[in-house]
Structure 1
Amino acid sequence: MSSSGVKVLIVGAGIAGLTLAIFLERAGIQYFILERVFEFKPLGSSMVLSPQVLRVFDQLGILPELEKVSGVCVSGVYMSHKQNVLGRIDVSFLEERYGYPNRVFSRPDIMDVLLRFIPKEKILWGKRVLSLLQNHEGAMVRCADGTTIHSDIVVGADGAYSAIRQALYDSIKKKNIRLPDSDMSPLRFDQFSILGVTERVDHLYPFPGEGCKMYNIFPSNPDQVYVHTIPYDDGRIAWRLSGPCLSKYLNGEASFRCSDWDTESIDDLKKYLNDAPAYIIGTHTKVISRIMVEDKFYETWYHGRTVLVGDGANQSILDSICLANLIVELPTTHPDDIEQMFSTYYSVRAPQARKAVAGSKTLGRIISADTPVGSVMRNMVLKLLSGPLNVKSMDGMYSGRPLLNYLPPIPLKGSLPNTAKPVTFGIGAEAKRSRATVV
């Protein structure tokens, strides 16, 4: 649909990269995905997609396929280490208010669905990026296998501490442009987690009815693990363990591998798994994954012909919706037009991303408090979020439910009005607005 004939190179075949690829595929934009591994690895545990992003999958016609491999989340339950309930955050009202519920997925399941909607020849496996060159004429990525790929735009969708981010920073520093100190500070990996999915265990552990509930079990002291579990409809449990006691799993390569998924045996963890459902986790999971991340807002999102999308599932999909809408409107591949496009993208998405990171950090500090005073504050916050403040906070997150401007719009679902406005490049914006009204 773009008159520019733009060619896009997406680096990273995770949720962000695959979603953007589907958006570009529907728009008829030329693209390829580079992925460093040689084949898809079914790693990871659970993730939740919000009403904000489910709407665009409904517009694409993909939602029925996603519904087949997901469950509806109705609440989050927070418990003490003795499994006494400290608070419940109800989310059962989301579908009535925003048109869609929170849906819980196994990461391998959602990846499998997304891969079905991308032509196989568009994903180049085993392409580890070594360097990035960009100039007035275009961009070139060089891979470890000796190949080079040319494009007009490079999109880094390969994690918080990605190869493209580092290559982008290198190109900026070569021009003697100072990067913000916060962007250059090392990641602290204070959210190191170990996670996995059990075999079917509903015959061993009673599953609650009336929809999926997320269970969060706080440790009795800092030497124990925080346990997060989500029962699936098919009898499996998705789980995540986190806590300072797991820091020994960090290694000297951490600063270069923080966005990688790694696998190992469950055996070394069994000493931490004293309670049910933690015991069931340990005895009925064959392979686990580990991931090292930190909630961090980066000020630098683009330079030249290279742009980055976020790392978290929902934020990265919202980034991709905005970016795809702008790429479709790109009039030419001239650097000035690309600069204007990236600037618009940043102005729309950065404030929302900054707010999301700040909120996540604040909630994380409160929820994971391990002092007596912190525990009291945590219980107070949980009580507040169990009441009317819950709906108000959800409205702040889910009132804006964007669509792809270049596809036929779908009717608005849910009782709350939509606050999302069409994001346009600027050139021909009035004509675009006339046919891409907010619905």
Structure 2
Amino acid sequence: MPFEADPTPDLSRRTETMQTPNPKAILEPPVVLIAGAGLAGLTAALLCERANINYMVFERAAKVKPLGSAMSMGASTMAAFEQLGMLDELMKISLPCPSVDMYHEDLKPIGSMDFSSAKEVSGHDLIFFSRADLYNLLLSKVPPSKLHMNKKIMSILQNDEGVMIRCSDNTSYHGDILIGADGAYSGVRQSLYKQLDDQGLLPAEDKEEMEMAYLCIVGMAGPLNPEKYPSLKDSRCHFATVLGQRKPHSWTTVTLPENKMSWSAKIQLDRATAKDMMFRNSEWGPEANKAMIKEVYNFPVKQGGVLGDLIDATDKDMISRVYIEEKLFRTWTHGRTALIGDGAVAAMHDAIILVNCIYDVEQVSYKNIQSALADYQSQRFEHAKGQVNLSTMLGQMLYGQKWNQRLLRNIVYNLPKWAQARSHLKGAKYRPSVAFLPPAANPTNLRLDYQKPSTRYAKEQAAKAIALT
């Protein structure tokens, strides 16, 4: 299958043969095309940069606008930031969170999830930060020359010689591996799944629509006056979720550095409502937010005042309305293409393991690439399944309004601290590590889950040790 010439050849194809006086061929790393410049795509790009893998990133938007929400991270991901030498920068944009608190609409407490012992147990606090701040941190580590914006991918072609993406501006690009990090509704996923479906290779469950659980509106207010919101003066993060009374709403506020406060409001959807919304809506903008803003405006906030005060202190263009959807796809790879999940932290874990596997492709061949991508899914799938299940359960505890979800919340939020600490410990044991960098410290000597080491890195370290003797 011949590939078309690229009208704008910013990324040349890998040279198949090289002239060298050395009888042993010089092995080049594979050329990697990354679709999507969100958190997952930038994480993959940063790792490729550190691994000296030739890559380019293609983003459909002219400029990525991260949602104005807060994110959390614990030991399972912070260890990789330590390996990359970025932990101090991450901590500068973050606040440690000792507890996740929940309240009735009259602001009387329901209970708390205690994280005060997280650092003692795992070596790292639970931290919260702005999604935009994390995005900008990752973006600062990727050379601008590696980013191609306004590149909406329309189709992909792949065979045993390579992979090609074709963009909406009629440009095309070639490589050895394609990483689809452009979201659950990505052009890469849709194109790949259509090809597989046409060949009868797509599992039935991957054809099913994602199940919507919540409609969510989010924003980032600030900088705010600490005198009006005294919790902003604290060096710790204050996380408060309020559960609506006789309404399907819940709303959350999270204090962050620089006197900012993330806020969100969620509506739990039943199946009929979710399907109707999917049918009637595809794009969201400032105008589409007005009705929901009016609906939640006067909801009381634990930090003081009402949600509308925070909404008024938020740039209207940075208020986003999104669906929170739940689904674990079965098909992650095919041929030269690998897909990364849509969840923020889980997607970063995907990127770490995927680039580890690509790093071990010392001799570029179709067989070796297929083997590496299959290894990626094998290493990640069960962990991703567990993360999806945990995320679903946490969502039910934080926002669920059904009687069984309320019961689960009352049980979990009121467990003794030692029992909560034990449950958090399980999550801290899984730490996807960058296999081609020295391991992060494990100050608490926690017994970590096994991770497949890099054979290439082991050989390189052995060669260095021999050279030093």
**Structure 2 length-normalised TM:** 0.84
Separation in structure 2 between the aligned mates of residue 138 and residue 118 of structure 1, nearest angstrom: 25
Deviation by residue 1:163-200 (Cα, 9 ceiling, x = unmatched):
111111112123232x2222111123223211001123
Gaps of 5+ in 2: 1-25, 302-306, 465-469
* Alignment-derived partner of residue 423 in structure 2: 393
Relative to structure 1, the CA distance from residue 374 to residue 46 in structure 2 (aligned partners, 3 Å threshold; closer, same or farther) is closer
Query: Alpha-carbon deviation of 1:374?
Result: 4.4
Aligned to 2:308: 279
The alpha carbon displacement at 1:286 in A equals 3.0
State the partner residue of 2:93: 69
Query: Which among 340, 351, 358 is matched to residue 327 of structure 1?
Result: 358
Equivalent residue for 2:335, pick from 290, 304, 327: 304
Is the alpha carbon distance of 1:129 and 1:406 closer, same or farther for their aligned partners in structure 2, counting shifts above 3 Å?
Answer: same
Assess, with a 3 A threshold, how the Cα gap between structure 1 residues 192 and 4 changes in structure 2: closer, same or farther. Answer: farther
1:84 maps to amino acid: K
Q: Tell which deviates more after alignment, 159-168 or 296-305.
A: 159-168
State the Cα distance separating 1:263 from its structure 2 match: 4.5
Match of 2:23 in 1: none
Q: 1:305, 1:388 → 2: CA distance?
A: 47
Q: CA RMSD for the aligned pairs? A: 2.6
Cα displacement string for residues 217-237 of structure 1 (whole angstroms, at most 9, x for unaligned residues): 1111235x2101101132221
Match among 349, 354, 361 for residue 380 of structure 2: 349
TM-superposed CA distance for 1:65, in Å, is 1.6
**CA 432–192 in structure 1, closer or farther in 2 if over 3 Å, else same:** farther
The Cα shift of 1:61 comes to 1.0
**Shift of the alpha carbon at 1:430?**
6.8
From 259, 265, 273, give the equivalent of 1:241.
265
Which segment is superposed worse, 347-356 or 286-295? 286-295
Structure 1 partner of 2:244:
219
Question: 1:89 and 2:113 equivalent?
Answer: yes
**Counterparts in 2 of 1:210 and 1:415: CA distance versus 1, 3 Å:** farther
Residue type of the alignment partner of 2:83: Q
SS in 1 for 2:421: helix
Task: Confirm whether residue 120 of structure 1 aligns to residue 144 of structure 2.
Answer: yes
Contact 1:141 / 1:149 at 8 angstroms: preserved in 2? Answer: yes
Aligned pairs (5 A) from 1:54-65: 54-65=78-89
Q: Please tell me the residue identity of whatever aligns with 2:185.
A: Y
Among 192, 205, 217, the alignment partner of 2:215 is 192
Larger mean Cα displacement after TM superposition, 124-133 or 153-162: 153-162
Q: Which structure's CA Rg is the greater one?
A: 2
1:319/1:434 CA distance change after superposition, 3 Å = farther
Return the offset for 1:435: 9.2
Match of 2:12 in 1: none
Distance 2:349 2:145 in 1: 26
Inter-partner Cα distance in structure 2 for 1:254 and 1:163 = 19
Residues 129-151 of structure 1, C-alpha deviation per residue, up to 9 Å, x if partnerless? 10010011000000001110111
Deviation at 1:421?
2.5
Paired residue for 2:42?
A: 18
Q: What corresponds to 2:169 in structure 1?
A: 145
Partner Cα distance (2:184, 2:37) in 1 = 14
Cα distance per residue 1:316-371 (max 9 Å; x no partner):
11111111111111033322111111111111100000111122223323443424
Contact 1:56–1:403 (CA under 8 A) maintained in structure 2: yes
Structure 1: distance between partners of 2:367 and 2:107: 58
Aligned residue type for 1:414: T
Q: Please state how far the C-alpha of 1:279 moved relative to its aligned partner.
A: 3.2
SS of residue matched to 2:156: strand
Structure 2 distance, partners of 1:110, 1:429, is 28
Change (3 A) 1:333 1:144: same
Q: CA deviation at 1:104?
A: 1.1
Secondary structure of 1:92's counterpart equals coil
Is the partner of 2:179 in helix, strand or coil? strand
Q: What do residues 8-35 of structure 1 show as CA deviations (whole Å, max 9, x unaligned)?
A: 0010111111011111101110000000
Q: Quick check: 2:68–2:262 contact (8 Å CA) kept in 1? A: no
When residues 262 and 141 of structure 1 are mapped into structure 2, their CA distance, relative to the original with a 3 A threshold, is farther
Paired residue type of 1:25: E
8 Å CA contact 1:401–1:420 kept in 2: the answer is no
Equivalent in the alignment of 1:165? 189
What is the CA–CA distance in structure 2 between the aligned matches of 1:105 and 1:176, rounded to whole Å? 44
**Is 1:96–1:415's contact at 8 Å kept on the other side of the alignment?**
no
Name the CA distance, whole Å, in 2 between partners of 1:232 and 1:3. Answer: 47
Cα deviation per residue 1:375-400 (whole Å; 9 max; x = unaligned)?
Answer: 3442122212x532312221211113
Query: Which segment is superposed worse, 238-247 or 390-399?
Result: 238-247
- Where do 5+ consecutive residues of structure 1 fail to align? none
Secondary structure at the residue paired with 1:408?
coil
Distance in 1, Cα, partners of 2:150 & 2:72:
28
Code of the residue aligned with 1:285 in structure 2: it is: T
Alignment match, 2:448: 418
Report the CA distance between 1:250 and its aligned residue.
4.2
Distance 1:123 1:430, change over 3 A: closer
Maintained 8 Å contact 1:270/1:282: no
Task: Kindly provide the CA deviation profile for residues 77-110 of structure 1, in whole angstroms up to 9, marking residues without a partner as x.
Answer: 0111111111111112222222222221111111
Match of 2:54 among 30, 34, 40: 30
Following superposition, the deviation at residue 281 of structure 1 comes to 2.2
